[in-house]
A and B are shown apart, each in its own frame.
Chain A
Amino acid sequence: MLEKPGGADLLATARDLLLAELLPALPPDKVFAARMVANAMAIAARGLAVEAQAEAALQARLAALVGEGADPLARLAAGIRAGRFDGDEAVRNWLRDAARLRARVSAPRALG
C-alpha cells in the first residue's frame, strides 16, 4: 500500500548523500555531529531490515526456556542471576543468538 522506496531505502540513500556531498563541505567542528547522524541512519536502516520472523523465532524459543507467561525476558534475567541456568547450553545458545541479532543492527562490525 505504501509508496516505494520505503524507509530503509530512503535512509540508505540519504546517508550516502550526507557522507558524499554534505560532510566534506562542513566546518570541522560539525563533522562529529554529521558522523553521528550518519551512524544513527545506518542503525535505523538495519533495524528496519530485521525480519519480523527472526525476532518471533527468538521469542518462541525464549518461551520454551522459561515457560509461558508475562515478562519472559525478566524471568530469564532473574533466573540467570539466581544461578538457575548455570551451565545451561540452551540458555547460552539463546543468549548468543539474541546478542547476534541485536549486534547485527547496532554494531555489525563487532560480529567480524
Chain B
Amino acid sequence: MDEAARGRLRDWLAAASGDAGLRIGAIQKLSGGAIQQNWALDVEGAASARRWVLRTDSAAVLAVSHSRPAEFALLRAAHQAGVTVAEPLFLCEDSAIIGAPFFVMARVGGTALGPRVVKDGALGGGRERLAERLGRELARIHAIRPPRDDLPFLGAPPADAGLAAIAMLRARLDAAGVPRPVLEWGLRAAERGAPAPVPPVLVHNDFRTGNLMLDASGVTAVLDWEFAAWGDGHADLGWLCAKCWRFGNVAQEAGGLGPRDALYAGYAAESGAAVDDARVRWWELMAHLRWAVIAADQAQRHLSGEERSLELALTGHIIPELEWEILAMAEAA
C-alpha cells in the first residue's frame, strides 16, 4: 500500500471510527490468496491502540464467492447471533480509497492450521469441550433464518437443499467434461437416499478444521464465510465430520478435533433439538463428493496451464482416495 493510499485510508478510518486523531502504525500483509487479501492494521487512537484486520479483494476476483460487502453483512449477522467471529467494524464500498472495497474487523489470536490443531489435544480446553463448543457455534449459525433483509445476496432458499446440491455437483462435473463414474455412482446413491427437505437455515458451507481459529481456551473465530448460503444445517455438521476433513486424526470424528457425541450434544443443547444422525451421514457422503469435485476443478487449473502449481496438481490425486471412501459410503446408504 503506497503513501497516498495509506493517507486516504487514515482519513477514512478516522471518519468511520469517529476518532479524528487516529494514526496508522504498522500495516502488514497477513495472507494473500487469489481472491482475498488480509492486512494486519495497528492503529493508535485518542484513547487506546487497537489491532485490526483489513480484508479486501485481490486484483483477480472470482465470481464464485461473496463480495466483501456481502461477507461483512454475513459477519455482522453472525456476530449478532452470538457466533464467535472477529467483530466486524467498518465497511468501505468506495474503491477510490485503497483500490477495492474493504472492511475492517477486530484481530483475534489463535491458530487455524488443520494439521497442527488436530495434534494438539489441549486446544479449545480439551477435545470434549471443543467439540461441544463447535456444536453450539453451528447451532447459533443455524438460528439465522430467512427471510433476512440484511442478506439479500443469498437469494431465495432452495426448495430442497439436498437435491439442489446434487444438481450443482452434476453441473460442475459436466462443465469440467471429465467422466467420473465413481462420483456419479455416489451422486446417484445420494439421490436415491435423499432425505426430505427441512426448513432452510443459514449454512456456513466451509465450517471445518482449518477455518476455525482456536486457542487454549476455545474457539476465537469462525473464519471464511464466503460460501454461506440458505440450506440444510446438517450440511455443516456433515462437512465438519466428514472423514476427509479430519486431517489424519480419524478417531476424532468431529473434524479430527473431538468426539462426534460431544458435537451433537453441544448442538442439541444450544438449538433445543436433537441432531438427526442419519441426515448428517447423508451430508458426509455429499461432503466427499463436493470435495472431490472441488479437487478436480483445482487440478484442472494446473492441467489447463492457467496456474501451473505442484500443490494444485497433487490436489487432483486426492480424488481416488475420496472415490474409495464414496463407494464404501454409497454401499451403506
Contacts and interface: CB of A to CB of B under 8 A. Distances in A.
A-B interaction:
yes
Interface of A: 33, 36-37, 39-40, 43, 71, 73-74, 76-78, 80-81, 83, 86, 91-92, 95-96, 98-100, 102-103, 105-107, 110-111
B310 A73 contact: no
A103 B319 CA distance: 8
A78 B179 CA distance: 8
A74 B180 CA distance: 8
Interface of B: 170, 179-182, 184-185, 187-188, 192, 310-311, 313-314, 317-321, 323-325, 327
Given A39-B314, A77-B184, A71 B320 contact: no
B188 A103 contact: no
B323 A81 contact: no
B43 to A, nearest CB: 29
A36 B313 CA distance: 10
B181 A73 contact: yes
Given A78-B179, A102-B323, 16 more contacts: A33-B310, A36-B314, A37-B310, A40-B310, A73-B181, A74-B179, A76-B179, A77-B179, A77-B181, A86-B188, A99-B323, A99-B327, A100-B324, A106-B320, A106-B321, A110-B325
6 closest Cβ pairs, A-B complex: A107-B321, A102-B320, A77-B179, A110-B321, A106-B317, A106-B320
Given A76-B179, A80-B185, A81-B184, A95 B327 contact: yes
Contacts of A92: 185, 327
Given A37-B310, A40-B310, A40-B313, A80 B181 contact: yes
A95 B185 contact: yes
B182 A95 contact: yes
Contacts of A102: 319-320, 323
Contacts of B310: 33, 36-37, 40
Contacts of B319: 102, 106
A24 B182 CA distance: 40
A110 B292 CA distance: 15
Contacts of B181: 73, 76-77, 80, 95, 98
Contacts of A111: 324
B60 to A, nearest CB: 23
A36 B230 CA distance: 37
Contacts of A78: 179, 184
Nearest to A99: B323
Nearest to A81: B184
B179 A103 contact: no
A77 B327 CA distance: 14
